Chain A
């Protein structure tokens, strides 16, 4: 039995490594994706180009401007003198946000009234707009607190013979501390997720393609007339791609650590173990695609039909917690979701089996079911 499996595995490696296209497919996608997500894709909001529209030109508006200039998030790049100019700045995308200070701003503050400062946001990218809005509000809130403090102090300062005594002002100071990714780098979030992405693509696609290619060129028929058992053929056809998937896991982990300094806080062995469990699902799915496809094109199409939704619902870029409840339930059927949890848990949180066992169990159960049901569909007959 092992003899035959070994023969197929050896042949599969020879063919894959000999074919430049397939060889490229093993190395380039993981590298390119890792580099793109590591360097280019950045959801962190920094250096926002800000337009300044000051219709007040008083002491207070200058003071507020000083606060915005002092913030690392904002850079004031443009001035707008009129509504039309402000409109044009946003239309052309010269600025991402505009702070508009109404006439009488300084006067209102001086007389103890509520003064109006408007923040206009380019909402084309809703996510970025929300974050910019939060930052702008925070800058204004800081100025607000200062103003409030000054006022309170004026009222509360008690004059004695020895001089003024400052009274304490009660208040709550929030202290924010982020765990697992203290600098809130989106890179740390995305790069480990690529492992899930790439392993799925490579193993699903290569498995399906390698089987369907043999159907196309007629060698599958030739193999089917030999005494080989279906299980031997299936193992021979999946083991090579399991090994290649593991190679990609190592490759991406290596790049993540060496180039991007993504922290790997948990156990590497656990990551590899979870990867092996996850492969059961993707190899099974690849095998399934090969049973429903007659040509390599069909196999490609079928693989993409599987890959796109499972990837979207994996939590790689869109948080599952934000999805409608029904869709959230659907994600429980998605093996990528569990492996994504595990990969991020191991990399960023450094948690182990004591926390991740439900996900590991889910992968084991789903993988077994997918692989076995696909294997049962795989016959040694042409009809």
Chain B
């Protein structure tokens, strides 16, 4: 791993850096409110809650019996001529993909936007093997040019201004491109067209894998998913094992939930269902199709209190509504997934030691629970992760000390009276409250707020006087 913000910096440091970028705080709400309004308009005459309930049922029943559905999926893939590879962790997944590329004598790879390939840090491994790797989603292409990271599950360059994109693409063009989104897109189209035509291998993720038919489903708008799986002679799909759906008609529920919650679209421009390599009488398509099934910590969540997080379909809706994400953006979370889902997945996949502080980055307002198209109880999961962090002793000493003093003082009436009485008297002294707010434990909290004064006479005493 070349650069790992999660272990090198704290959430507070990363958040402070992001908060210094005023564009971010206008761009994220603007973009995400748009999706939410479109969603409301699209479902105005429909029972969206009913659709969510169906989606939640499909996902929870599937995950509850994951192994059965995976076995069926693998068998159906094999029957379709798809070569299936199991990867227990990121290293194994990278090794499979590198070997497939090597065996194919590949030199050039085109990629479809995929969070799973981000998760296993695939690109550096392929580049180290001497392969030319080109991200073909417009946003991911810019991320790659800038050696940056995507900051949103479905809108990777939500944090970048048009001017920044113009500068990046101008470097590729070797001339100054005009400040016009349409011209910039046109330039990327022409440049990437050569990449599609020359590529030996196309690598995609998988939005869903349908067990009944052995089908990889890709949901895109730009057409790069179709190009990358049509033109190169090898197609590799990296699929998280939890993305399985039992039946084709589950897609009639899951597709509108995914696109509705993700972008507010009724359906994305392209929904591509791939069930194997090019058939004998087909005019085009890859000669080989491989699916790499990625575990990387997923199976270990089965049967635990975190199993529900495996229902996630990566729509990004919880990021869009999260009051913390909307201020600090995706990079503050320090790893691949941001927002509430990132705050749950990161400690589970990367461990409490590195990711344990992320569940604290939540006001527990529950907006993520309300929006999640498959009804994952995200804020319950955040609370469980907080508790686990304390149980494991992973919380910082100061935090544990404050919490245990608090618990001691608040768990009996007389201790509460004494402690709150003393605290209240002390706070009435001007210099004590000023020092508390500026240097004491409240200093961070008091940065944007004034510290409230306790009442001279506590409530319980006033009640007993009445």
Are A and B physically bound partners? Answer: no
Q: Which residues of A contact B (CB under 8 A)?
A: none
Q: Which residues of B contact A (CB under 8 A)?
A: none
